Amino acid sequence: MTIDSIPLQAFLIVSSLLFCIGIWGLLNSRNAVRVLMSIELMLNAVNINLMAFSAYIDNNLIQGQVFTIFVITVAAAEAAVGLAILLSLYRNRVTVDMESFNLLKW
Output phi, psi for 2, to 5 deg: -85, 170
Report the nearest approach of other proteins to the CB of residue 90 (Å): 5
Q: Name residues contacting other proteins, limited to 29-58 (CB under 8 A).
A: 29-34, 36-38, 40-41, 44, 47-48, 51-52, 54-58
Give the integer Cα–Cα distance in Å for 26 and 67.
Answer: 24
Residues 69-88 that bind other proteins (CB under 8 A): 69-70, 72-81, 83-88
Q: How far apart are alpha carbons 87 and 81 in whole angstroms?
A: 10
The answer to whether 65 contacts other proteins (rule: CB under 8 A) is yes
